[in-house]
Chains A and B, each alone.
Chain A
Amino acid sequence: MSNLTVDVKRPPLSFTMPVVAVLGACFGFVTGNIFGQAWLGFVIGAVIGAGLAGILAQIVQVRLWQKVWGTCAVFALAGLIAGGIGGLVGGAVMGLSMGWFATWIGSGQYRAGVPIYYTAGQTLWHNVFLFICAFVFFFLVAPLFPVIWLSFNAENFFTFTPEMLAFQAEGYSLKHYREFFSGGGHPVQGILYGAVIGAVLGALVQLLPNVQRGLARVVVFAVVGALIGVVVGKMWGVSGAEWMTPLKNSLIIAPFATLISVSLGTLAAIGLSQTHVPGRQAIMAVLISPMIVPLIISATGMFFFYAPLGNWLEANLGLNQTFVGYVKVILAHAALGVPFVIITVTATLVGFDPSLTRAAANMGANPVTTFFRVQMPLILPGVISGGLFAFITSFDEVVVVLFVGSAQQQTLPWQMFTGLREQISPTILAAATILVTISICLLTTVEVLRRRSEKLRGMSPG
């Protein structure tokens, strides 16, 4: 398709000016409406739009992006004069859109993506389609931004205050983050301990046969150790804190649940990928079922089954009630995480060449060595991303923990859920922002791992 497009021609002013005027009229209508003069604004906006298109067409020496930002600056200045800081932002947004639209239309860029034989109607549809897609992407991502913005609110409101909208410093604060992190132990000590333990471990690893050696590795271990140490140090001895205790519970439950689902799931996935498995379909259906069955049903079933199980454990094995509570939630979450591990690891194993294991066996490696030295490094990306899925499933899960756990096992999502239902402070939004940050990190990790896996298996050049 692309070889049919040619350098675009600039459309005549008789086309550019009315089109930009339409957008200007829309903006004018909206702006005018604020002051109760919608139709006056409509007319003024149309005039400004047409004028802008005409002026920009006359300026030829300047690059396109300079035109866009120039328009933006002019509009922002006008907005600042008319309506203060709020007007500045409004003007900047409007100027950016107008400037971009005017240059986009004026330079003929709007035909850049379509074949040369397209009619005007087809070009219009193509661009409308792109706008629809842009709107959907906006719909997907935009809702997260007000959350992040509001989490810096200085007031205990769930809504924007006038100070926030006017971008005044006193409208913002980090108090919700302070509240979120209040309570808890010694992160600094944790960093130190973690870094030292990490460095020692890194040094010990150097002693193992067949590993890459070097100071860089020790540093990596120390940094990872410090990162874990800061979290562990912060969580050490937390109890009764409004947010740190749930976070601590989440950080206890999710790793254990992940560990169970990853270890059992990886073994089972390797078993499932053998050539001859009797009843593979049925087994697969059973193993995937925790993902298919709606959470509310899983939670109901687990509620009926785990409560007597817990009572039995407490009565007959004399176990501590809190401990049994954690065991119940961990088992439940491990079951929910299993399908994700199975799916990702079997998908990775599809690209695994079974003759490699035979070659290893041929050279005298026993099955355990073969697994750890040949198979594991190749499927590791799949295992890790399956583990991340399992982790996030547990870390994000509310319904089951709500039904199976007791107050001592309250997790972070549970606390958020209660907070949202009972409308408490915007600390929820601080928690949400932190979770968004974590999920961006996890997403990046998974993406990197996925590409690495594809590269390892030679499926994509990148």
Chain B
Amino acid sequence: MSDSTETGPVLAADGSPLKQSLAKALRREKMRALALIAPLLFFIVLTFIIPILSMLFRSVENQIVSDTLPGTVAAIQDWDTDSGDAPDEIVFQHLFIDLFNADEAKEHTKLGSRLNYEQSGLSSLFRSSGRNVDDIGESFQDPLEEIDPAFEEADFWYDMMNGAGGEGLLEERRAMWEAQEGDTLAGDVGFVPSQAMIDLLPWTTTAYTDFAIWTAIEDEDVVAEEEPWEAVYGALGMDLRNPETVAAIAEYDGPGAAQLQAVVDNLDRLPETSFREAFAEIDEDWLDPEVWGTISVYSPNYTPGYFLTAIDMKLGADGVEAQPEDRQLYIKLFNRTLFMSLVITGSCILLGYPVAWLLANLPLRTANVLMILVLLPFWTSLLVRTSAWKVLLQQQGVINEILVWLGFVDDANRLILMNNQTGTIIAMTHILLPFMILPLYSVMKTIDPSYLRAAKSLGATNFVAFWRVYFPQSVPGIGAGSILVFILSIGYYITPEIVGGTDGVFISNRIAYHISSSLNWGLAAALGSILLVVVLALYWLYDRIVGIDNVKLGG
């Protein structure tokens, strides 16, 4: 005691101040606890949280448009969506180069299916245009080769294009291919565009560089030995449309100068149709401003489009608008999911409450025996219970057979209990009932039965005593059970898929459909994200009412 009157801090055994020493011990304890948790936390973050985040990301991700058509997307920014007319020639020139590359990489069909989600018909538009885009190039290639056969030769092109100073362009186009392919394309191309050519024939050099990178790295061929793609001829045609280029060729004296001059002298032999017209010839729809509106609206890297689709809206040229009636589906499906989950929760309360009450008020030994009847279905495989309901509910099933045998139902008009909402509701109520009974039971267990007796001795009837005294105390149990059942049922997939038919399916079945059948993964991710938000909100509510720590399993 006398120590405490001395000045200075209290010391620990090792001579350091006690406060510091305690803080150190506390810190060590915290670190120890965290070190024990860390492996699992890392594991869950890696195997669960990141996948969920990747789903959230995918629901807004939309890089495919700008990756596949980079030049077109950049050029279309200057187009006035309200002009009521398709964009200018320059956009179509970019489209020619982009679409040709996409066709080589086999990416244009993916873009077509992506845009088809927003406007039907675009898938076939892209597919047919990808097939025919070569023709545009060929319409330039043939006259060029007629003017001078040197244009047929691979080494002529290589000598003309190869040089120095174009490393910037080479890397820029390599990045374009990498975005297009979603893969790295490292390696030596064996070609560097010459600065002189970049200045003289910008389109041609770009197209030739694209060709060179693809040939050298993807096809693993030697650039100097391969005849260029049709796109390069088309690009040369584009360059020659520019009067300044034509004038500049007269002063050019590098490799291929003579051949280029020959072409300039015979310009009238080249086709005169614009690229805009050439594309219109492939498919009229390219002149449709609506098609371009869709491409323009979905050109940014991130889009709310999937979320809007998930709530039956769409991103039109002038902002958000409702989907046409025949494509409205998801709001109805969300409503149905919520409604059926509510019905299932309600029937679970109705069936579970009396049983939980009985279990809570019986002697422990009897209650334990009866509890096995609750736990047995809880432990039985979900597939077993679902197949049981299929056996019971189908048209030739047990229930119908018995009713027909007893003569209550005519053989010709058997009850349709399956492949509709009834089937889903019955089967899911059965499957989720233990999740209602168990939390209800654990809450009711804590209610002192003497309250009821007290109420009755004060003159309450049985009903009043129950309703005014017992029931309010059991509400937390109802809340916990309801939220648990509701959360579980809102995301159910297996049972509705098997007994639900088309009317009794939930939003989760639609998500699975988009993942495995329609392959519209962005929409699946958006639907999943919405569902996730709903569930997390309910989970938060559950945490507020019961606390996560109080989740109990198996009684």
Contacts of B32 in A (CB 8 A): 271, 274
Q: A275 and B29: CB pair below 8 A? A: yes
**Nearest CB in chain A: distance from B207 CB, A:** 31
* B interface footprint on A145-182 (CB within 8 Å = 1, 0 otherwise): 01100100000001110000000000000000000000
Contacts of A271 in B (CB 8 A): 32-37
**Nearest CB in chain A: distance from B33 CB, A:** 4
Interface centre among A286, A332, A392 (most CB of B within 10 A): A286
Q: A421 and B497: CB pair below 8 A? A: yes
Query: A289–B535 Cα gap in the complex (Å)?
Result: 11
Q: B44 and A396: CB pair below 8 A? A: no
Is A443 part of the contact surface with B, judged by Cβ < 8 Å? yes
Is A399 part of the contact surface with B, judged by Cβ < 8 Å? yes
Query: A278–B430 Cα gap in the complex (Å)?
Result: 41
Contacts of A416 in B (CB 8 A): 383, 387
Contacts of B374 in A (CB 8 A): 137, 140
Contact of B29 among A143, A276, A302 (CB under 8 A): A276
Residue of B whose beta carbon sits closest to that of A399:
B493
Is A417 part of the contact surface with B, judged by Cβ < 8 Å? yes
Contacts of B49 in A (CB 8 A): 286, 289
Contacts of A293 in B (CB 8 A): 52, 491, 532, 535
Q: A296 and B44: CB pair below 8 A? A: no
Q: A435 and B380: CB pair below 8 A? A: yes
Contact of A277 among B33, B44, B53, B430 (CB under 8 A): B33
Answer whether A338 and B51 are a contact pair too, CB < 8 Å, given A294-B508, A346-B549. no
Answer whether A398 and B389 are a contact pair too, CB < 8 Å, given A265-B40, A277-B34. no
Contacts of A402 in B (CB 8 A): 512
- A29-37, A99-107, A197-205, A217-225: which one contacts chain B? A29-37
Query: A347–B551 Cα gap in the complex (Å)?
Result: 10
Is B407 part of the contact surface with A, judged by Cβ < 8 Å? yes
**Nearest CB in chain A: distance from B344 CB, A:** 14
Contacts of A352 in B (CB 8 A): none
Contacts of A285 in B (CB 8 A): 543, 548
Answer whether A159 and B430 are a contact pair too, CB < 8 Å, given A274-B33, A277-B33, A300-B528. no
Query: A136–B434 Cα gap in the complex (Å)?
Result: 11
* B interface footprint on A425-448 (CB within 8 Å = 1, 0 otherwise): 000110010011001101100110
Q: B553 and A267: CB pair below 8 A? A: no
Q: B383 and A417: CB pair below 8 A? A: yes
Contact of A443 among B30, B379, B494 (CB under 8 A): B379
Q: A129 and B34: CB pair below 8 A? A: no
Is B372 part of the contact surface with A, judged by Cβ < 8 Å? yes
Is B521 part of the contact surface with A, judged by Cβ < 8 Å? yes
Contacts of B475 in A (CB 8 A): none
Is B511 part of the contact surface with A, judged by Cβ < 8 Å? yes
Query: A132–B494 Cα gap in the complex (Å)?
Result: 29
**Residues 527-555 of B contacting A (Cβ, < 8 Å):** 528, 531-532, 535-536, 539, 543, 548-549, 551-555
Contacts of B398 in A (CB 8 A): 146, 160
* B interface footprint on A184-225 (CB within 8 Å = 1, 0 otherwise): 000000000000000000000000000000000000000000
**Nearest CB in chain A: distance from B375 CB, A:** 6
Is B39 part of the contact surface with A, judged by Cβ < 8 Å? yes
Q: B401 and A413: CB pair below 8 A? A: no
Q: A347 and B381: CB pair below 8 A? A: no
Q: A141 and B377: CB pair below 8 A? A: yes
Contacts of B380 in A (CB 8 A): 144, 435-436, 439
Is B91 part of the contact surface with A, judged by Cβ < 8 Å? no
Is A288 part of the contact surface with B, judged by Cβ < 8 Å? yes
Q: A292 and B539: CB pair below 8 A? A: yes
**Residues 270-310 of B contacting A (Cβ, < 8 Å):** none
Query: A344–B549 Cα gap in the complex (Å)?
Result: 10
Is B258 part of the contact surface with A, judged by Cβ < 8 Å? no
- A54-62, A69-77, A303-311: which one contacts chain B? A303-311
Is B72 part of the contact surface with A, judged by Cβ < 8 Å? no
Contacts of B551 in A (CB 8 A): 288, 343
Query: A447–B223 Cα gap in the complex (Å)?
Result: 73
Is A459 part of the contact surface with B, judged by Cβ < 8 Å? no
Residue of A whose beta carbon sits closest to that of B371:
A447
Q: B40 and A294: CB pair below 8 A? A: no
Contact of B351 among A136, A292, A442 (CB under 8 A): A136
Is A47 part of the contact surface with B, judged by Cβ < 8 Å? no
Contact of A160 among B45, B358, B401, B554 (CB under 8 A): B401
* B interface footprint on A16-53 (CB within 8 Å = 1, 0 otherwise): 00000000000000100110101000000000000000
Query: A392–B43 Cα gap in the complex (Å)?
Result: 20
Query: A370–B407 Cα gap in the complex (Å)?
Result: 70
**Nearest CB in chain B: distance from A426 CB, A:** 9
Residue of B whose beta carbon sits closest to that of A126:
B462
**Nearest CB in chain A: distance from B471 CB, A:** 15
Q: A139 and B430: CB pair below 8 A? A: yes
**A-side interface mostly:** helix
Residue of A whose beta carbon sits closest to that of B384:
A432
Is A270 part of the contact surface with B, judged by Cβ < 8 Å? yes
Is B405 part of the contact surface with A, judged by Cβ < 8 Å? yes
**Residues 352-398 of A contacting B (Cβ, < 8 Å):** 385, 389, 392, 395-396, 398
Q: B387 and A296: CB pair below 8 A? A: no
Query: A78–B472 Cα gap in the complex (Å)?
Result: 52
Query: A164–B552 Cα gap in the complex (Å)?
Result: 42
Q: B525 and A304: CB pair below 8 A? A: yes
Contacts of B525 in A (CB 8 A): 300, 304
Q: A297 and B354: CB pair below 8 A? A: no
Contact of B51 among A286, A306, A420 (CB under 8 A): A306
**Nearest CB in chain B: distance from A317 CB, A:** 16
Q: B491 and A297: CB pair below 8 A? A: yes
Answer whether A30 and B491 are a contact pair too, CB < 8 Å, given A264-B39, A296-B528, A331-B47. no
Contacts of B385 in A (CB 8 A): 143-144
Is B262 part of the contact surface with A, judged by Cβ < 8 Å? no
Q: A304 and B384: CB pair below 8 A? A: no
Is A287 part of the contact surface with B, judged by Cβ < 8 Å? yes
Answer whether A283 and B41 are a contact pair too, CB < 8 Å, given A132-B354, A297-B52, A417-B494. yes
Q: A283 and B37: CB pair below 8 A? A: yes
Answer whether A301 and B52 are a contact pair too, CB < 8 Å, given A143-B389, A271-B35, A271-B36. yes
Q: A420 and B373: CB pair below 8 A? A: no
Q: B535 and A399: CB pair below 8 A? A: no
Contacts of A270 in B (CB 8 A): 36
Is A452 part of the contact surface with B, judged by Cβ < 8 Å? no
Answer whether A272 and B388 are a contact pair too, CB < 8 Å, given A30-B406, A133-B354, A343-B553. no
Query: A413–B386 Cα gap in the complex (Å)?
Result: 11
Is A67 part of the contact surface with B, judged by Cβ < 8 Å? no
Query: A297–B55 Cα gap in the complex (Å)?
Result: 9
Answer whether A34 and B405 are a contact pair too, CB < 8 Å, given A143-B392, A338-B40, A346-B549. yes
* B interface footprint on A393-429 (CB within 8 Å = 1, 0 otherwise): 0011011001100000000010011001100000011
* A interface footprint on B498-539 (CB within 8 Å = 1, 0 otherwise): 100000000010011001100001001100100110011001
Contacts of B174 in A (CB 8 A): none
Q: B401 and A159: CB pair below 8 A? A: yes
**Residues 46-83 of B contacting A (Cβ, < 8 Å):** 47-55, 58
Contacts of B45 in A (CB 8 A): 286
Residue of B whose beta carbon sits closest to that of A288:
B548
Residue of A whose beta carbon sits closest to that of B42:
A264
Closest 4 CB pairs of A and B: A294-B491, A271-B36, A305-B51, A301-B51
Q: A-contacting residues of B (Cβ < 8 Å)?
A: 26, 29-30, 32-37, 39-41, 43-45, 47-55, 58, 351-352, 354-355, 358, 370, 372-377, 379-392, 394, 396-398, 401, 405-408, 430, 433-434, 449, 453, 462, 487-488, 490-494, 497-498, 508, 511-512, 515-516, 521, 524-525, 528, 531-532, 535-536, 539, 543, 548-549, 551-555
A sample of 17 more A-B contacts (CB under 8 A), given A274-B32, A417-B383, is: A144-B384, A158-B390, A159-B396, A260-B43, A271-B32, A289-B48, A292-B536, A295-B493, A296-B511, A297-B55, A297-B511, A301-B54, A334-B43, A428-B387, A429-B391, A435-B381, A439-B381
